[in-house]
Amino acid sequence: MTFRELNLKDDILSAIEELGYEQPMPVQEKTIPFMLEQTADLVALAQTGTGKTAAFGLPILNMIDTQRKQVQALVLSPTRELCIQIANDLKGYSKNLRGLRVVPVYGGEDIRTQLRQLDTAPQIIVATPGRLIDLIERGKIELGSVDYLVLDEADEMLNMGFKEDIETILERTPDTRRTMLFSATMPKEIANIAKRYMKNYEEITVGTKNAGAENVEHIYYVSQARQRYLVLKRIVDLNPDIYGIVFCRTRMETKEVADKLMHDGYNADALHGDLSQAQRDTVMQKFRNRNIQLLVATDVAARGLDVSDLTHVINYNLPDDVEIYTHRSGRTGRANKKGVAVSIIHSKERFKIKDIERMLHKSFIQEQIPNGLEVCKKQLFYLIDRMENVEVSEEQIETYMPQIMKQLEYLSKEELLKRFVSLEFNRFLSYYKNSEDLNLPERSERGERGERGERGERGERGERGSKPGGRIRLKMNVGEREGIDAKRLLGIINDVTGDKSINIGAIEVTNKFTFFDVFADQMDKVVTAFADQTEIQISEAKGSKQFEDRKSDYRPRSGGSGSGSSSGGSRFGGSTGGGYRGDRSAGRPASSAGSDKPWRNRELGDRSSRSSSGSGERRTSGSNYKKR
């Protein structure tokens, strides 16, 4: 099928031709004729990357009356980044349609600019819900003339707590409008919205949920937790053409990993909630333009980033929720390209892999961490490939050739090649000379003995009976001066993790910091729970090995069972996402008590721009990813 056969206007056809679109994508083949020829509403189960912007954009542009200077179409999107992207796409598709104006409105940017743009009487507004409501309340946008309403990434909008806003907006538009709802998944809440606000709608599905995942290969490497970073470097070095996102759990870890990569000469940068909106925009733009090869990011910060040709997604840590794993890995393998989702795990996390395999109906492949020799070989032939395919600018090099030839005439072809290759390659050879094997020794793989740094079996095990693994020393960035003492620390951990069975030992409070031990297999739970805290941050204390041999002094916390029973079974599937759950303020240190932060959503420009955002946080649950 061709675009021409879809009966689009010539001015639209010429624009998409210029964009290089040759054929409609499956979702476009379904929605465009439907929208142009029928009158019903539409619910489309389609993921980002399937061509859905053109699927709703092209028919709407075709139907808009450019002479009428009223808002005729409204597109709602969950994030400012997606909002800007949709508006840009629509502008591209409509560049030959005279008199057509598209204006994006989103939070996190000075409202005055948007107010001025709205004065140009656009026919299409692309908006994030919060900012749109602000503008409606200011009397700047009137939705009474809307003929077409698109809810894009509806499931994400609900996950982000926009349900009420969406309902308010829907109620402000005329009943006669046609509504198109796009969603990657179809949880009950979406079906409810469709039932309540849409008239005899058609449902279409494009591929299955996470269709991209079909092209994704899932692999994992098992190493000692403390060697994660070295493993990451090996993975990156083994894939010289890598263009990917490295997902970390906390802002601090994100910063640390990105800093180390940059320091080690990699083309990387960090994306996390501590950056200003402008800084985030710059990083994302650099990544989109491929000026950055590796983006190290938290899940929340990476949300608005839509890049369709990632070669790899790397889980520096496995997330505690299969849904998050799915979202992460679904970022690669799009648009019919192959993608690889890599996870770096430690031996006690194998059960997590099993859980994900079960839920995704996918097999994961354990790969051996490449040794120095393998990495060097890969890099060497990458260099040779580049040398073979490099574009030689004959004209410019011509001038110097006689002199070069003269200078090197005594060298044979083989000698020449050796020297050129060494010029580029010596760095790798010396780095990987004598590099250690990062794979776990077989003994430890079989679980006969714990890893270094995660010592198991002996010692504490006997005392507590059911705790496998050694202890890890953690450091919290608050101490005595913030009013922390042992009791308070336990209160905070109770509060943030919501899990009283986590054992805390060897508490040491200094003026600025608090140190404590947790069992290796409970560390994830603690670190993840604190992931999005802005003031209290937890990291592994440097040199934590020295605490391994401390006498066991673990205490179950008040009200906790202390039996350690929580370590059994699956941690996946539950809503183990971190962050304070608003109402639990007990035990918080003085510095943060009473501050009602929009925790996770602080990273989202739209919410933080709203005047009521302090208490207006409308997350639907402790986890941003609800079970569907």
Q: Which of 578, 449, 558 is CA-nearest to residue 504?
A: 558
Give least dist CB 124 to ligand AMP, A: 15
Give least dist CB 10 to ligand AMP, A: 17
Give the H/E segment covering residue 235.
helix 228-238
**Six-digit token string for 620:** 């639907």
CB within 8 A of 1, min separation 6: which ones? Answer: 23, 24, 29
Stretch near ligand AMP under the rule CB under 6 A, chosen from 50-58, 136-144, 272-280, 411-419: 50-58
Residue 51 in the binding site for ligand AMP (CB under 6 A): yes
Residue 330 in the binding site for ligand AMP (CB under 6 A): no
Stretch near ligand AMP under the rule CB under 6 A, chosen from 42-50, 391-399, 483-491, 537-545: 42-50
Q: Rounded distance, CA 151 to CA 251, Å?
A: 31
Residue 53 in the binding site for ligand AMP (CB under 6 A): yes
Q: Which of 96, 117, 308, 552 touches ligand AMP (CB under 6 A)?
A: 308
- Cβ proximity of 364 and 357 under 8 Å: yes
Q: Rounded distance, CA 86 to CA 45, Å?
A: 18
The residue number whose beta carbon is nearest to ligand AMP equals: 53
CA distances from 41 to 36, 142, 493 (A): 12, 22, 48
Q: Which of 8, 31, 49, 223 touches ligand AMP (CB under 6 A)?
A: 49
Q: Which of 34, 42, 43, 52 touches ligand AMP (CB under 6 A)?
A: 52
Give least dist CB 104 to ligand AMP, A: 15
User: 50 or 315: whose CB is closer to ligand AMP?
Assistant: 50
User: 77 or 343: whose CB is closer to ligand AMP?
Assistant: 77
Query: Which strands, in side-by-side order, build the sheet including 42-45?
Result: 102-105, 124-127, 73-76, 148-151, 178-183, 42-45, 202-205
Q: According to CB under 6 A, which residues from 179 to 238 bind ligand AMP?
A: none
According to DSSP, residue 308 is labeled S
User: 93 or 364: whose CB is closer to ligand AMP?
Assistant: 93
Stretch near ligand AMP under the rule CB under 6 A, chosen from 43-51, 262-270, 319-327, 519-527: 43-51
Residue 239 in the binding site for ligand AMP (CB under 6 A): no
Residue 54 in the binding site for ligand AMP (CB under 6 A): yes
Give least dist CB 294 to ligand AMP, A: 21
Q: Rounded distance, CA 250 to CA 297, Å?
A: 9
- Cβ proximity of 76 and 82 under 8 Å: no
Q: b vs e for 537-566, b when ≥16 Cβ sit within 10 Å of the residue's Cβ?
A: bbebbeebbebbeeebebebbeebebebeb
Handedness of CA 130, 136, 141, 146 (dihedral sign): positive
Would you call 186 helix, strand, or coil by DSSP?
Answer: coil
Q: Which of 32, 44, 45, 50 touches ligand AMP (CB under 6 A)?
A: 50
User: 53 or 94: whose CB is closer to ligand AMP?
Assistant: 53
- Cβ proximity of 471 and 505 under 8 Å: yes
Which x/- pattern, by CB under 6 A, does the window 399-418 give for ligand AMP? --------------------
Q: Which of 48, 94, 123, 623 touches ligand AMP (CB under 6 A)?
A: 48
Give least dist CB 24 to ligand AMP, A: 5
Q: According to CB under 6 A, which residues from 8 to 37 bind ligand AMP?
A: 21, 23-25, 28
Binding site for ligand AMP (CB under 6 A): 21, 23-25, 28, 48-54, 308
